[in-house]
Amino acid sequence: MNAIISATELAALLAGPNPPVLLDVRWQLSAAKAAGEPPFDGRAAYAEGHLPGAVYVDLDTELASAPGAAGRHPLPDLDVFGAAMRRAGVAVRRPVVVYDGGQGWAAARAWWLLRWTGHQDVRVLDGGLPAWQGARETSAPAPAEGDFRPVPGTEGLLDADAAADLARTGVLFDARAGERYRGDVEPIDRVGGHIPGAVSAPTSDNVDPDGRFRPARELGDQFKALGATDGTPVGVYCGSGVSGAHEVLALAVAGIPAALYVGSWSEWSSDPDRPVAVGPDPQ
């Protein structure tokens, strides 16, 4: 099953006998906003208009725990996450489609969490809300309680030590912008640079200008050129485990399984004893 779905395909599913649960996960990285600009309010955006039947899910409080030593967006408490999913109507035998405002990062975080905790039928709306040409609604639905109970997976998740090892023995992609990878700038975390051995692979390279993913074959060729050859274990990190999930999604579109280091650079760089590489090269 493809990890993404087009707006046309979604409209057909919504008109069918087993319509998917829709999750609206609109979110923006407030630290990257211009000084003086008010923080993005996902709930307010949802109230102004969303896909019919969609339920809003908050990334900061339901798809992550509070910031701390484990990073800016550590794994959520699974009881909190599970309750949020059931409140939204997520059920084991019902498909789920997640969308955000078009960037795809937040939707990918929800997709990754649901997949990692056992849901078998989750997709991301390619292009997000801007790709949807159908009706929108402003009222919040009250879906029947779902029965999904998250169970952590045994694969697909990296901690700091596993990420460092993968950078030596496989391929570890850094999904942040190139200037942050190189250490030219660091607007958010304690220090700039990258995990030694990691390969720069910005998420911006995975999508067209409209935010939709590039064709699977193009993505596959791109990642293979960066080292994700057949049989090579692949991992991804970013700033805080959000845009990295988008890279894992792009790899899934290309047919390449990958693990996510959720703590990412925000966790790695918080420990002054961990090594930091700078410049355009992995080492």
Taking the domains of the chain in order of start, what are their residue ranges? 4-131, 157-268
| Interval 79-126: pLDDT, tens | 999 999 999 999 999 999 999 999 999 999 999 999 999 999 999 999
**Catalytic residues, which ones?**
238
Query: pLDDT at residue 32 above 80?
Result: no
Question: Is-same-fold flag (4-131; 157-268)?
Answer: yes
- Model confidence band, residue 29 (pLDDT cutoffs 50, 70, 90): confident
Would you say 235 and 166 are in contact if contact means Cβ atoms under 8 Å apart?
A: yes
This prediction has a pTM of 0.96
Helix (H, G, I), strand (E, B) or coil at 260: strand
pLDDT at 37: 64
| Interval 269-283: pLDDT, tens | 999 999 999 999 998
Q: 4-131 domain in CATH 3.40.250.10?
A: yes
Closest CA to 262 of 41, 89, 109: 109
Query: pLDDT at residue 35 above 70?
Result: no
- Give the up-direction half-sphere exposure of residue 68: CA atoms within 13 A in the CB hemisphere: 7
Distance CA 29, CA 190 (A): 17
Q: Which CATH class is domain 157-268?
A: alpha beta
| Interval 204-259: pLDDT, tens | 999 999 999 999 999 999 999 999 999 999 999 999 999 999 999 999 999 999 99
The DSSP code for 71 is B
Query: pLDDT at residue 34 above 60?
Result: no
> Radius of gyration of the chain from Cα atoms?
18
